[in-house]
Structure 1
Amino acid sequence: MTEAPTSVRRPPAPNPAERAKTIATRNGPATIIPTVERAGCDVERVTPVLHHVHHSGSVSILLPDEHPMVQASRQSQRGELAVMVELADHAPVPLREPIRGLLWITGWLRPLTAVSARARAIAIADERPDYRLLDVGHGVTLLRLTPASLVLADAEGTHSLRPHMFSAAPPDPFHDYEAEWLRHLESDHPDVVDQLARHLPPQLHGGRIRPLGLDRFGLRLRVESATGDHDVRLAFSRTVEGPPQLAAELRRLLGCPFLHHRHSSG
């Protein structure tokens, strides 16, 4: 994760709650970290069997029945543990520094009853089918994290969020399209990536340009150079909502504003 170069006026970008919701929706790698109130839980960082962030900001977590965190939560006075879930947003293309952002959700982790666990597993499967959900009640425990606060850290800055802000925010419309599009851009159209260098500040010329991110406000590039890594946002002329508008904005960035008429003249 690399800070963008400072400037007087930053290009428009999704607001922090929207960026946080987009990271959560991508369902990247998660780690559970107990807080100082560990109540006898002697583990430091835990990788869950499965995790799912709900629109409200609550997190469903699968852990083996005998996991120390499950046992500690059952044995605690309140039947829950104070923990933090860390979600990493990895770039779709291989970079020297692959993490684009981090989202931390802090709250209370509690095992669900058998009835609640089955109902929640079914609800998750409707949205994101996963065979591991079939193991709920058969060697794995489904726990729920009730969020108290969220913190987002990415190239745009660090922001604290309340759960209601996260719940109300939509993910970016390109969240399920971005990864494939960026990989296609780098592998099949390196010339296009090179042409985008015309928009970079002079001090970044000469570095290796990599496609880093895509959202409705613009395209983000990573410049990998001998002096370090730098992130640059190229703003679209308007917000885009789908592939046709995206294609038109990309052509504008390349300096070919009239190419979108090429299919209508022949």
Structure 2
Amino acid sequence: MQHPVTAPPIPERVRTLAVGAAPTHVSVAGSALPATAVRGGVDAEGRPILLVKPDELLYGVTDEIVVTVDLVATRAIESVDRARGMLKVRGWIQPVPADEIRDAAISIAERCPDEDLFAAVESRGPRLLRVDVAQVVYLTGQESGVLDAEDYLAATPDPFLDAAERMLHHVNSAHRAQLVEAVAVLLGAPAPNAWLWELDRFGATVRTAPDNLIRLPWPAPVTSPTALEQALACLLCRH
């Protein structure tokens, strides 16, 4: 008997997390300098884009140097951001080419908005630097490991990510009582702290406690946003 796939392949999962992850710190390989705070986002190819001001580390970079950028993906639970996963992207940093600055700024503005992005586009102080990925270390819930650049960059995020995020936020904000009841039925025990944590084409992940995530796979991977919505509705109706 063939068992259903219960979760996305690791490269796809990591790329999906990276889409909404924000850079938090950057460190320079071989340097005694401590890691410093940084802003920016991740472009459509999965490469970190750093937004650097004139008085910040790396502002004067002209040649490629090796750095490690920490990215953190979060989920708001009761108005508090909780970490879903952390990625450490190691690679060579370089200025974003002048003819690509606008596209780079637009690619990260929707998920990581920052007023200084406009200044960078207009060459009014801040600069955009891009990391040419060499490897990615990931820590996501109970999983950890390393992806090389080829596997990471060849993967694509979940195809229904945007729709899934909208559905997830809607359930957590408007239908949590229904979710709590449905999870309690599935577990055979009360689950008052259940929150929808992740949603993708292979299933849903529910957070019932800070250190407890429960994976609920679909009978088969869904193939459209409509099918994802129907699968989620079936989950919520289990009460």
TM-score by length of 1: 0.74
Partner residue in 2 for 1:212: 197
Deviation, 1:217, is 0.7
Deviations 1:186-236 (A, max 9, x none): 222133202232222x5x645521111101111111112xxx531001111
Instruction: Work out which of the residue numbers 176, 180, 184 in structure 2 matches 1:190.
Output: 176
Deviation, 1:34, is 1.0
Deviations 1:116-172 (A, max 9, x none): 2x2121222454556634323321122221111111211251121111111211111
2:194 match: secondary structure:
strand
Aligned equivalents of 1:96 and 1:223: distance in 2? 15
Deviations 1:61-81 (A, max 9, x none): 22012323324x45xxxx333
Aligned equivalents of 1:52 and 1:247: distance in 2? 27
Instruction: Work out which of the residue numbers 22, 36, 40 in structure 2 matches 1:45.
Output: 36
Deviation, 1:47, is 1.9
Number of residues of Structure 1 aligned to a counterpart in Structure 2 = 229
Partner residue in 2 for 1:3: none
Aligned equivalents of 1:192 and 1:64: distance in 2? 46
Aligned equivalents of 1:54 and 1:245: distance in 2? 25
The within-5 A match list for 1:6-155 is 12-26=6-20, 28-38=21-31, 42-48=33-39, 50-55=40-45, 57-71=46-60, 73-74=61-62, 79-94=63-78, 98-112=82-96, 116=97, 118-125=98-105, 127-128=107-108, 132-136=116-120, 137-155=123-141
AA aligned opposite 1:173 = P
* Contact kept in structure 1, 2:195 and 2:206, CA below 8 Å: yes
2:36 match: secondary structure:
coil
AA aligned opposite 1:124 = A
1:138 match: secondary structure:
coil
Higher share in strand: 2
Q: Percent identity?
A: 24
Partner residue in 2 for 1:162: 148
Aligned equivalents of 2:169 and 2:44: distance in 1? 27
* Contact kept in structure 1, 2:198 and 2:205, CA below 8 Å: yes
AA aligned opposite 1:158 = S
Q: Any stretches of 5+ residues in structure 1 without a counterpart?
A: 1-8, 257-266
TM-score by length of 2: 0.82
Deviation, 1:15, is 1.0
* Contact kept in structure 1, 2:27 and 2:36, CA below 8 Å: yes
Aligned equivalents of 1:223 and 1:161: distance in 2? 29
1:122 match: secondary structure:
helix
CA RMSD of aligned residues (A): 2.8
* Contact kept in structure 1, 2:92 and 2:132, CA below 8 Å: yes
Aligned equivalents of 1:235 and 1:253: distance in 2? 10
